[in-house]
Structure 1
Amino acid sequence: MNKTIYLAGGCFWGTAHLFSLVPGVVSATAGYANSIVENPSYKLVCTGITNAAETVMVVYNDQKVSLSSLLSLYFRSIDPLSINRQGGDIGTQYRTGIYYTDSADSAVIESQIAALQTHYDKPIAVEHSPLINFYPAEEYHQDYLYKNPDGYCHVDPILFREAREIGKP
């Protein structure tokens, strides 16, 4: 059965690419979550007035990959203590967050955040809440790192290799 989770991990180019590599992920769509402006443009999101977070809608087959496995990879792809910044990107649109549409996912998310918190003295800065809205980003943002293999990406390239191996014996 296909399920969906929304992951904000800074610039959506690397996050979308990372999750597109995971066996069992059906699609990874770059977009904007929880905007106070309907269907915002990238230019408008960059102003900070939309309150949108660059987010990736991850559709996955839960018979092939678990939400826990996806979240484990997600937490390794971000700095979970950083507020409104990942890599060289700074601004509210680059905040980290996990947004869900299935309330059953909340317990899994909270459990993983609690486990992660045991490794840090400072509080985890990852938002987690129900999704309010999601608008796909402009076409040039979709599959960006496939189209531009040398494009900017804050995600450690080692994780790309590891993503391909999730769930394999």
Structure 2
Amino acid sequence: MNLEKGKEVAIFAGGCFWCTEAVFLQLEGVISIMPGYIGGKNPNPTYEEVCSGYSGHAEAVEIIFDSTKISYQELIEVFFATHDPTTINRQGNDVGSQYRSEVFYTNENQKKIVQGYINFLNTENTFGKKVITKISEASTFYVAEDYHKNYYNQNKNKSYCEYVITPKVEKVKKEFKDKLKN
């Protein structure tokens, strides 16, 4: 992927990609977000294949961001603040390897940043448990089906959105208000 100067890619898996997308869409400097699948064995997986848990893919988001407006470090801080990085293959009621906590780095600097931040979180005992988020080199990212894109904003009144995603969005608005889009 060829990006303009100052533009970077971040790829995060932190449970349901509808949640992760909704959180990062609010941030200044985030140019675009694409929900999709990464880290599995089959090419071009479908949502159904990923949900089965057998494909090995994680639900993830690919974020294109302007590093002159928001840093990778800031994205990492939001990522860890908006999901539970201490549980294996689970986020709330979403259970399975497709809901794992994993950061897919696109360069060595990103790898160092996330490793350093996880070390900091564990040293500070931020969560009262060890952070188990996996750090992996980015592999092929497969874009999810169209109906997953901007899901939260198009379905705010659905119960999953109201009870699971809205609290995460509200948390970002409260804790990261200096990083929000106008």
Counterpart Cα distance in 2 of 1:157 and 1:107: 27
Counterpart Cα distance in 1 of 2:130 and 2:71: 25
Displacement of 1:92 in angstroms is 0.5
Counterpart Cα distance in 2 of 1:116 and 1:165: 22
TM-score, with length taken from structure 2: 0.86
Match of 1:7 among 12, 15, 34: 12
Task: Determine helix, strand or coil for the equivalent of 1:46.
Answer: helix
Counterpart Cα distance in 1 of 2:46 and 2:107: 27
- AA paired with 2:91? Q
Task: Determine helix, strand or coil for the equivalent of 1:78.
Answer: coil
Q: Percent identity?
A: 33
Task: Determine helix, strand or coil for the equivalent of 2:152.
Answer: helix
Which residue is equivalent to 1:76?
A: 81
Q: List runs of 5+ in structure 2 lacking aligned partners.
A: 1-5
The equivalences for 1:21-32 within 5 A come to: 21-32=26-37
Which residue is equivalent to 1:165?
A: 178
Which residue is equivalent to 1:127?
A: 134
Displacement of 1:167 in angstroms is 7.0
The answer as to whether partners of 1:16 and 1:143 remain within 8 angstroms in 2 is yes
The equivalences for 1:12-161 within 5 A come to: 12-118=17-123, 119=125, 120=127, 122-151=129-158, 152-153=160-161, 154-155=164-165, 156-161=168-173
Counterpart Cα distance in 2 of 1:143 and 1:58: 13
Q: What do you get for the CA RMSD once the two structures are aligned?
A: 1.7
Deviations 1:74-104 (A, max 9, x none): 1011111111000210011000111011122
The answer as to whether partners of 1:34 and 1:53 remain within 8 angstroms in 2 is yes
- AA paired with 1:137? A
Distance 1:48 1:167, change over 3 A: closer
Task: Determine helix, strand or coil for the equivalent of 1:45.
Answer: helix
Q: How many residues end up aligned between the 2 structures?
A: 168
Higher fraction of helix: 2
Deviates more, 1:148-157 or 1:2-11: 148-157
Q: List runs of 5+ in structure 1 lacking aligned partners.
A: none
The answer as to whether partners of 2:29 and 2:66 remain within 8 angstroms in 1 is yes
Distance 1:85 1:158, change over 3 A: same
